[in-house]
């Protein structure tokens, strides 16, 4: 699971912590959610939107855990309505599934 190449790359790139499982990974291995001004929390598909962000592995389990703990809201110090939370979760779930489909390792 952790090849020597991965370990070497880890030292060269910034690591981010998944709010679901707490593992640290490279930015490209994580989905980023960003708190925008006026538009609430959005999935940052390109990882470049300005603003405070939180990260999640491309794993449904991490999303579930984060959702249960309201980890995204707590990290960003905001509160979402149940509708907003549901929409966000759905969007991230679809993104995770697509990322995993596009990855030949899965």
Binding residues for Zn ion (CB under 5 A): 18, 20-21, 57, 62
CB of 50 to Zn ion, least distance (A): 24
CA distance 36 to 51: 6
Instruction: Give the residue with the Cβ less far from Zn ion, 37 or 75.
Output: 75
CA distance 42 to 46: 11
CB of 76 to Zn ion, least distance (A): 17
For residue 32 the two structure tokens come to 């980023």
CB of 94 to Zn ion, least distance (A): 17
Instruction: Give the residue with the Cβ less far from Zn ion, 33 or 62.
Output: 62
Instruction: Give the residue with the Cβ less far from Zn ion, 62 or 92.
Output: 62
Length of the chain: 106
For residue 22 the two structure tokens come to 């707490």
CA distance 4 to 96: 26
């Amino acid at each position: 699971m952790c090849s020597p190449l991965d370990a070497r790359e880890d030292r060269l790139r910034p690591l981010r912590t998944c709010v679901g499982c707490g593992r640290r990974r490279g930015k490209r291995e994580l989905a980023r959610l960003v708190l925008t001004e006026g538009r609430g929390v959005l999935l940052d598909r390109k990882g470049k939107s300005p603003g405070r962000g939180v990260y999640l592995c491309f794993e449904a389990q991490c999303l579930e855990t984060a959702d249960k703990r309201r980890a995204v809201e707590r990290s960003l110090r905001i509160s979402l309505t149940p509708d907003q939370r549901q929409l966000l979760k759905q969007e991230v779930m679809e993104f995770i599934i697509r990322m995993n489909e596009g990855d030949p390792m899965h």
